[in-house]
Structures are given as structure tokens and as C-alpha cells.
Amino acid sequence: MSEPRNKIITEDQAVATLRSGMTLGIGGWGSRRKPMSLVRSLLRSDITDLTVVSYGGPDVGLLCAAGKVKKLIYAFVSLDSIPLEPHFRLARQNATIPEPTEWDEGMLQWALFAGSLRLPFLPTRAGLGSGVMDVNPSLKTVNSPYADGEELLAVPAIRLDAAFVHMNRSDARGNAQYLGPDVYFDDLFLAACEPGRRFVSAEKIIPTEDLLKEGTFHTLKINRSMVDGVIHAPNGAHFTTCEPDYGRDESFQKAYVDAARDPEAWKAFSDRFLSGDEANYQSQVVAWREEVKAAKEAAK
Amino acid sequence: MSDSVALADVIAVACAEAWRGDGEIFASGMGVMQMLGARVARATFEPDLMISDGEAFYVSGDLPIGGTQKLVEGWIPFRSVFDTLAGGRRHVMMGASQIDRYGNSNIANIGPWAKPKSQLLGVRGGPGNTVNNATSFFIPKHQTSVFVPNVDMVSGVGYDRAKKVGGFIAKRHDLRRVVTNLAVLDFNSPDNSMRLVSVHPGVSVDDVVANTGFELVIPASVPVSRPPTPEESAAIETIDPKGLRHREIPT
């Protein structure tokens, strides 16, 4: 009897399949359930000239700061509790993203949905009349072929070369589960991606028979036919939210923002947290928390 | 009107008034004052409004701002928000870093888009919101750098642009009201340019004009924004017991 595919890999093995110039979709939303351990691995690689599609948070900020983004397709980049993402702001203000592509939030969904359905475009009203049309002159409209004849924006499909999403649980074959309040558009990112580089990191890898122990079947939006690689990544979304396993690490997020204000501080932050592997990152976060706690005690 | 009524409470009620008559739709508030307004409207004169926790749930009862004891009555993840707004069953109150006389608004960037002087959030869902569902604004600081002749990036579509698109969008386009720290404004004028509706207590029409970077439509008589009713005051206290609303108003 043939064996099923073995999909358990590491972040670095996933990233090793990527090439410069590819189109990468990153799941999550703002500073919520972002596949940060995969992003951190990507930061350590030589890969560059990426087209990145994201409901942007620190994933986008970090990739911009590292100069890995050629084209960014986004509607916003935000840290939610801290509205503005410092690295993204700098990148835009210094015009270091060669091809910023700013769309409406709904247009991103439509582009990924069209990509997942292998349609060339999907029509919408979102974007019409707005500055999105001014700064994206390649966007085209279509007229309804029916009696109404309405002119609609034809959102071009996005097909991804690679997709990263982070889930609460997955089995070893990629049947993945979100236990928080929102799947965001993670299923669409995977569905819009060419098979081969669809990666799911998860807090816990569990046996298939345990998938319904913590959530109902409604939480199983991602099945194994949508996934090529499964990465065990405890605390992998840190410092973003991963409800209900953990909330956002607000104090660490603030430290990230503070460090981004100053090149020297950023270098120190980056050297400490981002130059080593994921295990180093996680142990440095633990050590950092201890230091902050000790400093607070000392200040009392 | 009594001097004891706080400006923030007058503004909360002015925000709540945006949803009057909306019935059973999603009242979505982006920001503390906007959320407070939506929840006060539901607690008092507009009981059928749907209110979310700002994350992914419709909540029943009078959930305080930032409250965690939620009585969940429905699920509204982001995808459903997009569906709901495209269906027109939503009235959102947003913020704006810039707004012009026809209600074109900007939360995206200040300065030229290609190389902004200040990158803000990006257009977010503003383009889709403003051509699909009713949109209002709360702007905490009414000044000429916000009320500008032309916004640097149109993240929210105004009346002149909606008319230019024509068809469904021109017909359904619905910018409801703009509430600031000085006044209430709307677009009920012959060409849908911004009109002064009322000034808050202690504010003159001249104050509003001086802080607006374009010509407003000003009726012959401009009333003073009304104070909360006792029922509304009670709702404001229940929904914002910590007084977060006062921090929204510049001193």
C-alpha cells in the first residue's frame, strides 16, 4: 500500500522552496494570527524581489524593512492596537517599495477569490470613484452584459506562487483548524495559491481524530488538499494575536515599534531577535520578558 | 442648556443621531466616539440596530466600550462585514485625516501618494464603504488642515466623484453626517456640498467657518447641537463608564 504524503517540515524547509521574484500571500489580518515564524525564516533567507499580498501587519513591515518587497498589494498595513506600522510608513515615505499597489480591502478578497476560482477577474463597485482608480491606472472596468449595463471594476485575479498562514491546530496532513473568532481570508490565500508552496504553521500538531475536540466542524475551513507543508510553530504568531491560545503581546509590539523609530535601536532589536533561528527568537522573547519584569521590580 | 453638560456628551449624541431611522442594519463605529454613538443610538431611540464588538461578534445589550462580558447574538467576521456592506445593510461612522466639501475623505496618506510626507493607514475599506453603504464621519479636531479644498488621496468617495461614476453608485451614494468638536455638518444642499447643521454649545458659526478650508453652505439660522436627554445621558454613562469619550476631544 502507498504511504500518504509526509508534509511535516520546518519553516526553513518551506522557505527554501521559494525563489526571488515570486508572489507570496500572507494570511492573518493586521496584527492578528500572522504566520510570523515563517516570515522570520523568510527574513533570514536571500530571497528578494517579492510580490507580497497581505492584509498587512508586522509581516509587511518586517519584509519592507529587510528590503525584500518589490511589489506590495495591500489595502492597509496596521498593528491594530497601534494603528500605524512604523517600517511600512518609512518604506512608503522613502519610496523604497518599487511598486506599491494600494487597493480596497474588498478588492483583495475578490482578487484572491477570482484566483482561487481560476477566473480572470471578478466585478465589484469597491474602488470605483476612489483614489484607487487614480493610482492604479492598469485597473479596468467591465459593463454588465445584462439590461442594467452597469460599469463595474474588474478586479484582476491574483494567483500566488506561495502562501503562508498560521492556524491554531493542524493534523500532520494539513487538515487545519482556527479556534479564534475569524478565519480572516486564510482559506482564500491557500486556495489562490499554486499547489506546491502552500504552507500552514500551527500552534499544535494533533492527531486527525482530535480535530473536533476543541472546535466544531465549522472551524475546519482548511483541508489537506489545500496544503503542501505543515510546520509545528508554537507561539509562531508572536507578537500578533492567536486567540484563544494567546493574545497579542502588546508590550513586545510596543518595543518593536519603539525600536523601529531609530536605526541603531532597530539594529539592536534585529540583532537580538531576528538574526538567529526561530528557537533563538522564542528564547530571546522569554529572556526579554524576564528583563522587563526585573526592571519593573527594580523600579518599585 | 445647562453648563454642566460635557462637550463630549453633546458630541456622543450628535454621533448617535447619525443612525436615527436606520432600523435593523449594522451600525459600525470605527473609533471610541463612533462606537459610543452607535451604542447610545441603539440603547435609546434606535433599538433594532446591530452592534459589533469590533472583532467578530454582534453583541446584544449595552456593551461598554472595551467590555469583555459580551452577550453574543451573531457572528460578523471580516468576510461577513464585506458581504454586509456590499449588500448595503450597514451604516459606518469612520474617521478622516482630510475631508473636502463633497465628502471625499482620506485616511491613506498625507502628501503625494507616490512618496507621502506621512503614510497613514492606507485606503482600507473606505472605497468600498462609501459606494456601498451609508457613511458618516467623526472628526475630533475641526481645523483647516483637515477640512481641505482637496484631499491628498481619495480613500472615501464624495458626492462629486460618485455622480461622475453615475448609475447605481450615484443613485445610492449616501454620506450622512460629519460630527466634529465644533459642529454637525451634512450634505443636504442642492449640489451635495457640505452644510452646517448645528454648532455645539459655545461655538459660533464664525468659529466653524474659520476652521474650514472651503466654503460651507450655511443656513440663515444655525441651531445649537442639542444636549443628551436623561435617557441618553444614562446610556452614555453605561456604555462609557471610564469616560474615554472625554479623551477624544482636544482641549
Q: Which residues on adjacent β-strands are paired with residue A200?
A: A165, A230
- B123: in domain: yes
Which cell numbers hold the place of A82?
497601534
- B1: in domain: no
**Sequence-ordered list of residues with C-beta below 8 angstroms from that of A260, at least 6 positions apart, any chain:** A61, A65, A86, A87, A90, A266, A269
pLDDT digits (tens, 9 = 90+) for A156-166: 999 999 999 99
- B251: in domain: no
Kindly determine whether residue B161 and residue A126, on different chains, have CB atoms separated by under 8 Å. Answer: no
Which residues from B are below 8 Å from A148, CB to CB? 167-168
Kindly determine whether residue A126 and residue B131, on different chains, have CB atoms separated by under 8 Å. Answer: yes
- Region of A33 (left: φ > 0; alpha: ψ -120 to 50; beta: rest) is left
What are the Cα distances from residue B77, in Å, to A181, A230, B36, B123, B233?
7, 25, 21, 20, 31
- B73: in domain: yes
**Sequence-ordered list of residues with C-beta below 8 angstroms from that of B150, at least 6 positions apart, any chain:** B100, B104
Per-residue pLDDT tens listing for chain A (300 residues): 788 888 999 999 999 999 999 999 999 999 999 999 999 999 999 999 999 999 999 999 999 999 999 999 999 999 999 999 999 999 999 999 999 999 999 999 999 999 999 999 999 999 999 999 999 999 999 999 999 999 999 999 999 999 999 999 999 999 999 999 999 999 999 999 999 999 999 999 999 999 999 999 999 999 999 999 999 999 999 999 999 999 999 999 999 999 999 999 999 999 999 999 999 999 999 999 999 999 999 988
- B77: in domain: yes
Domains assigned to chain A = 8-103+159-232 (3.40.1080.10), 250-299 (no CATH)
Range of the domain at B57: 7-246
Buried b (16+ CB within 10 A) or exposed e, A12-50: eebbeebeeebbbbbbbbbbbbbbbbbbbbbbbeebeeb
pLDDT digits (tens, 9 = 90+) for B135-169: 999 999 999 999 999 999 999 999 999 999 999 99
- B2: in domain: no
Residue B161 — φ and ψ, nearest 5°?
Answer: -70, -40
Kindly determine whether residue B123 and residue A132, on different chains, have CB atoms separated by under 8 Å. Answer: yes
Q: Report the complex ipTM.
A: 0.96
Cβ B201 vs Cβ B5: under 8 Å? yes
Kindly determine whether residue B119 and residue A181, on different chains, have CB atoms separated by under 8 Å. Answer: no
pLDDT digits (tens, 9 = 90+) for A171-200: 999 999 999 999 999 999 999 999 999 999
Select the residue of B116, B126, B169 nearest A128 (Cβ to Cβ): B169
In chain B, the DSSP E strands lie at: 26-29, 50-51, 57-60, 71-75, 90-94, 98-99, 105-106, 109-110, 118-119, 134-139, 175-180, 183-186, 195-199
Tally the residues of chain B.
251
Residue in chain B lying closest to A82 (CA): B121
Kindly determine whether residue A92 and residue B109, on different chains, have CB atoms separated by under 8 Å. Answer: yes
Residue in chain A lying closest to B107 (CA): A76
Read off the pLDDT of each residue in B32-45 and give the average, rounded to a whole number: 98
Q: Which helix (H) or strand (E) holds B66?
A: none
Select the residue of B55, B121, B131 nearest A76 (Cβ to Cβ): B121
- B232: in domain: yes
Residue in chain B lying closest to A89 (CA): B119
Cβ A215 vs Cβ A246: under 8 Å? no
Which cell numbers hold the place of B154?
481619495
Kindly determine whether residue A77 and residue B128, on different chains, have CB atoms separated by under 8 Å. Answer: no
Return the CATH number at B160: 3.40.1080.10
Kindly determine whether residue B154 and residue A130, on different chains, have CB atoms separated by under 8 Å. Answer: yes
pLDDT digits (tens, 9 = 90+) for B54-90: 889 999 999 999 898 999 999 999 999 999 999 999 9
Q: How many structural domains are present in chain B?
A: 1
- B122: in domain: yes
Residue in chain B lying closest to A32 (CA): B55
Residue with cell 491557500: A190
